[in-house]
Structure 1
Amino acid sequence: MSLIQQTDVLIIGAGPSGSSAAALLRKKGYAVTIIEKQYFPRFSIGESLLPQSMVFLEEAGLLENIKNHVDEYAFQFKNGAAFLKGQQRSFYDFTEKFTDGPGTTWQVRRANFDQLLAQQAEQYGADIRFGHEVIAVDVETQRPILTVKDEQGEQYQIQGKFLLDASGFGRILPKFLDLESPSDFPVRRAIFTHIEDGILDDPDFDREKILITVHEKDPRAWYWLIPFADGRSSFGIVAEQDFFEHYQFDESSPETLQATFERILADDPALSQVLRNKKFDTAVRTLVGYSANVKHLADRNYALLGNAGEFLDPVFSSGVTIALKSSSLVVPLLERVLQGETVDWMQAYEKPLRAGIKVFRAYVESWYEGEFQDVVFSKNQNDKIRRMIASLLAGYAWDHTNPIHKNPKQRLSTLAEYCREEQSQIAAIGIE
């Protein structure tokens, strides 16, 4: 190998957290090199953005480029979330929320969205090396070193003053540094694809909202339907492993996966009616055991961003928001390190980031336990409660002024009880 290459900041992965961190660092004048194993555009799920993301995209100087390509890539304007379970329907409008900030965003094909972010980071001066793979990591030295294999199979080493892992489900540093920690979520599987949805002039369907459907026979299972602006949608089903066994689950090929998916859909009359004109025309994929956690999120010369650190669950679409928040939070701290200061990464990065993740976790857990389902389908919510819930669903999980933010699991549990009992005493959940 030749001499070790040098840069200010090394980033593994050019997805939303990596590209946004690179853009923020380039705006401050630091040299940034991103090592990205794949080539863009590439397929990814997580297509329903949350309005909180808009704040972070604008901060990184990435929002304007997205706006300029909305029509070209059929990004769908999004203003809320709709819920369906049998004959029950509910929705939340994100413009009618408790927290200040944007109330709208888009539903995007991630292949196009991620490529736009990476292209903008490159325009700001980031060196993105597509098709390059990290094969070794050394963080024992003061300045971390990556050993990388390039497109031709040749190896080289590159050293930075700091290392950010934005590798998403690749989870490079957790694997190399033995940071992985078992998730306490049950093992769940997702089956998903893109479809021609065929939804025309359906008065009960709103393309400007993600549709989350609870399986009529098993409330642990749910579907996502994320419409794009060109008559297509991202479509998926999530459930625990034993759920799929009832449907003769077979992942030996995309065709058998599709057959499983269609059997599951046929068992849900309400959603089948919404999708009565659908066409499966894209290979069906599956992902299992995706929830993940780590022992810590940062150390003296590296930090984990987004899904590389923790991934909860696709319900409520928190992934991209957490990814962008982590970049927004880490870059000012990283700048202090580059200027020779000492940073308490636990206090300054991990605790604040996990505070919001804790809120997301509370209502993910509450959803699967059935309590949050009782809340969203309840007809007994006053305007103030609806606004607080809308803020959570819109991604504002770091808003400490939202009463549900404090002890969120307990508050959601009490709120579910309130909704079930159809009482109007707001004081029961500590909201005045």
Structure 2
Amino acid sequence: MQDMQQNTIQQTDVIIIGAGPSGSSAAALLRKKGFQVAIIEKQHFPRFSIGESLLPQCMVFLDEAGLLDTVREHVGTCGFQFKNGAAFLRGGKRSFYDFTQKFSEGPGTTWQVRRADFDQLLAEGAQALGADIRFGHEVIAVDVKTSQPILTIQPEQGTAYQIQAKFLLDASGFGRILPKFLNLESPSNFPVRRALFTHIEDGIGLDTDFDRNKILITVHDKDHRAWYWLIPFADGRSSFGVVAEQDFFDAYLTGNAEQDQSEVLLKRILADDESLSKVLAQAKFDTPVRTLVGYSANVKHLAQSNYALLGNAGEFLDPVFSSGVTIALKSSSLAIPLVERAIKGEQIDWQTEYEQPLRQGINVFRAYVEAWYTGEFQDVVFSRHKNPDIERMIASLLAGYAWDERNPMYKNAKRRLATLAEYCREDISPAQLSEI
């Protein structure tokens, strides 16, 4: 430590913790403005991550960062799957939303991606623009009391060092580096849920009703609090997982350690849903099954005068509508113009200029997530009667356009969803639905 202290503190314009989508896109945006950027990334890429189903709104942010062409050039070699919507399954009921028929302006299609490849492409794109990404380097201390933050970094090989910047961005995702170091973590109001997931050879033939161009969200036929995701890639493989509260999983445990291994447990839960079991009748489980518990998180604030939290480092809701990457990229898009102004010496009201605008869209996503688990949004999704105009408005939100204030379903999203669900339960006509 004494040797480290004797060394000169390294200097840069902006330090970013984490090279995932929010970190790499933020770095790309900063490099386009001419700033020096150092990204501190503990892991080595490519590395496994979930969150494979992008939303069309992501395309806007990737393009803004100059990273869209990088991804597009590798769609074929990486097996990224064209995506134009979301499909839903509950027992014998099916429903879907076509993102190309949405209310909001902007792209209506995107891809379903292996995050290991996708995240590496974004990182490589940021590096091509001049970002200094330091893989295998871990943040071991943070000092934001000085006007220019100082981080102490431990590389896998060699001596710890310090680096100072004019501004600090935390894009560490579930690592949540600044919230932990600065005691910013705040309890989420979501129940503790568990995700059990893997990648599979899905074995889905062309003679099924399954549409590879859409993520499939299946409500567990016997417990509507639980749901499965099935995210197809372009090479016959899929990301597959189930999400529920712990008591749901407990009901499937036998008490036998061998019989309760993660893969056996996931197969047992799949077998208990007849409709999805038919879709995956030929699936091969050939990748270790992983688990994630208590992933929902919140913080006391998202930014101060010399640092800001991006993406999942600040807040993560739930995987049900694949909002994670969209929120991550949106946070970078919002933050970087403010970082530029802060570096130039302007006073920034981070609460009104960053946190409030970002949370407005997050709160729309939150309303839909909460309504999904209470069953209100499920009733809307599986209603026999659909109003085309409302379908387009909902399609926009599911496509990631949660910040479109022109969308009537944006304002008072929670109340409007509750009213819509009530109408759907009463089985009224499409014309009456337009009255909400």
Whether the 8 Å contact between 1:48 and 1:226 is mirrored in structure 2 is yes
Counterpart for residue 108 of structure 2: 103
Cα deviation, 1:200-248, whole Å, max 9, x if unaligned, reads 1133100000000000000000000000000000000000010000111
Partner of 1:5: 10
2:326 is aligned, of 316, 321, 327, to 321
List per-residue Cα deviations over 1:101-147 (Å, max 9, x = no partner).
Answer: 00000000000000000000000000000000000000000000000
Q: Which runs of 5+ in 1 are unaligned?
A: none
- Alignment-derived partner of residue 343 in structure 2: 338
Structure 2 distance, partners of 1:35, 1:378, is 48
Residues 250 and 260 of structure 1 are in contact (CA less than 8 Å); yes or no, is this contact kept in structure 2? no
Number of residue pairs the alignment of both structures matches: 431
Q: Does 1:285 align with 2:287?
A: no
1:382 CA displacement:
1.2
Give a deviation string over 1:49-85, Cα, whole Å, max 9, x none.
0000000000000000100000000000000000001
C-alpha contact (below 8 Å) 1:250/1:256 kept by paired residues: no
The answer to whether the 8 A contact 2:80-2:233 is kept is: yes
Whichever residue aligns with residue 118 of structure 1, its letter is: A
Deviation at 1:418, TM superposition (A): 1.0
Equivalent position to 2:191, from 186, 193, 197:
186
Task: Please give the per-residue CA displacement for 1:162-209, whole angstroms capped at 9, x wherever unaligned.
Answer: 000000000000000000000000000000000000001133100000
Match of 1:387 among 384, 392, 397: 392
State the one-letter code of the partner of 2:191.
Answer: P
5 Å matches for 1:388-427?
A: 388-424=393-429
Following superposition, the deviation at residue 426 of structure 1 comes to: 6.0
1:419 CA displacement: 1.1
**8 Å contact kept, 1:254–1:285:** no
User: Which deviates more, 247-256 or 257-266?
Assistant: 247-256
Q: Would the alpha carbon gap of residues 97 and 116 (structure 1) be closer, same or farther in structure 2, given more than 3 Å must change?
A: same
Query: Which of 122, 125, 132 is the matching residue for 2:130?
Result: 125
Hey, what does 1:135 align to over in structure 2? 140
- Cα deviations across residues 264-299 of structure 1 (Å, max 9, x unaligned)? 011001000000000000000000000000000000
Is the 2:208–2:279 Cα contact (8 Å) retained in structure 1? no
Separation (CA, whole Å) in 2 of partners of 1:80 and 1:21? 27
For 2:142, the aligned partner's letter is V
Residue aligning to 2:97: 92
SS in 2 for 1:71: helix
Whole-angstrom distance in 2 between the partners of 1:93 and 1:254 = 40
| Deviation, structure 1 residue 420 | 1.4
Cα pair distance change 1:179/1:429, threshold 3 Å: farther
CA shift, 1:381, in A, is 1.2
Once the two structures are aligned, what percentage of the paired residues are identical? 74
3-state DSSP of counterpart to 1:53: helix
Q: How many Å separate the matches in 1 of 2:387 and 2:316?
A: 32
CA contact (8 A) 1:414 1:429 kept: no
CA contact (8 A) 1:226 1:233 kept: yes
Equivalent in the alignment of 1:361: 366
Distance 2:384 2:100 in 1: 20
1:241 aligns with 2:232: no
Give yes or no for contact 2:379–2:421 (8 Å, CA) kept in 1: yes
In 2, the alpha carbon distance for the partners of 1:79 and 1:422 equals 28
Report the equivalent of 2:300.
Answer: 295
CA contact 2:385–2:430 (8 Å) conserved in 1: no
State the Cα distance separating 1:153 from its structure 2 match: 4.6
Query: 2:149, 2:207 → 1: CA distance?
Result: 55
Going from structure 1 to structure 2, the CA distance change for 1:171 and 1:429 (only over 3 Å counts) comes to: farther
Partner of 2:171: 166
Give the alignment's TM-score, normalised by structure 1: 0.98
Residue ranges of structure 2 left out of the alignment (5+ in a row): none
User: How much has 1:423 moved relative to structure 2?
Assistant: 1.9
- Runs ≥4 in structure 1, deviation > 4 angstroms? 249-255, 425-431
What is the SS of the residue equivalent to 1:311? Answer: coil
- Structure 2 vs 1, CA of residues 180 and 250 (structure 1 numbering), >3 Å: closer, same or farther? farther
Q: 1:327 to 1:141 in 2, by over 3 A?
A: same
Q: Does residue 114 of structure 1 match 2:119? A: yes
What SS does the aligned partner of 1:205 have?
Answer: coil
Which moved further from structure 2: 219-228 or 374-383?
Answer: 374-383
Q: CA RMSD in A?
A: 1.5
TM-score (norm 2): 0.97
Distance (whole Å) between structure 2 residues aligned to residue 137 and residue 213 of structure 1: 43
